Amino acid sequence: MLINFCKYQGVGNDFIMIDNRSNSFNRQDNVLIESLCNRRFGIGADGLILLQHAQHLDFEMLYFNADGMESSMCGNGGRCIVSFAQSLGLIQQGRTSFMAVDGIHHASIVNNDSIELQMIEVHTVEERSADYFLNTGSPHYIIFVEDVDRINVVEQGKAIRYNDEFSKEGTNVNFVQIIADNQIKVRTYERGVEEETLSCGTGVTAAAIATSLKVKNAVSHFYVQTLGGPLEVKFVHQFTDNCYVDIFLIGPAVKVFEGQINI
């Protein structure tokens, strides 16, 4: 069976995109998905995304980690599927609404390769001494460090991801260095990939919110540097309810290549 696919990347976080509106791809075949994501024996990617038909919306996004398992929301993948959907003619006037595992998302195409993606609202941020834990569509543990370049992300991230609290469900672990009031640098250990990734969209969103809490200022628009490139996060902090709304992740979504693979 031949499968048509496209390969996209958002600041180095890369994904296999498959138009599955016909339901011809078996979404239950976790072994196949893992093999397609394998960088030596498959196409190679941090994850695989199926674009599905959705009633009353432009499409549905189903995201699978590189281990083949369906996972929670992926911010970089969300931006990439918007670009993919545009190439399929599913988006009108540069704006779209689609379903994901954490609910409905809205997005707009800022220019040819930059997408502004609305994330879910954040109503709870756990402060754990100097660390933070929150869910921005995926769970994220935030650790602030003096020099993020000197951190062994895999070793230290794995220790938290597999500790007694998180080993069953897993968590992503982000190491954050504050560069200026509105600038941070982030490196991420990503569950499901079980490695450091060049970028994590829900991770930088969580890092920006945690930074706003840590530095206790009114900054609500952050410029974030990842190993794969720059991203932006902006939000509104509703102080009366202590929640974060109108959260947007902004950055590129780039088609790398397309092809066919025989399975």
Catalytic sites, residue numbers: 74, 200
Q: What is the dihedral of CA 205, 253, 73, 6, to 10 degrees?
A: -160
Please, is 164 exposed, middle or buried when counting C-beta atoms within 10 Å of its C-beta (0-12, 13-18, 19+)? exposed
Whole-angstrom CA distances from 223 to 39, 133, 231, 244 are 30, 21, 6, 17
What is the residue-wise DSSP string for 198-236? S--HHHHHHHHHHHHHHHTS---EEEEEETTEEEEEEEE
**Side chain identity at residue 66, one-letter code:** A
Q: b vs e for 85-106, b when ≥16 Cβ sit within 10 Å of the residue's Cβ?
A: bbeeebbeeeebebbbebeebe
Residues ≥6 apart with Cβ < 8 Å to 57:
97, 98, 99, 104
CB-based contacts of 40, cutoff 8 Å, min separation 6 = none
Q: Are 228 and 196 in contact (CB under 8 A)?
A: no
| Helical H segments across 19-117, by residue range | 30-37, 75-87
φ/ψ (deg, to 5) at 8: -125, 155
Handedness of CA 140, 141, 143, 147 (dihedral sign): negative
Backbone angles phi, psi at 259, to 5 degrees: -175, -170
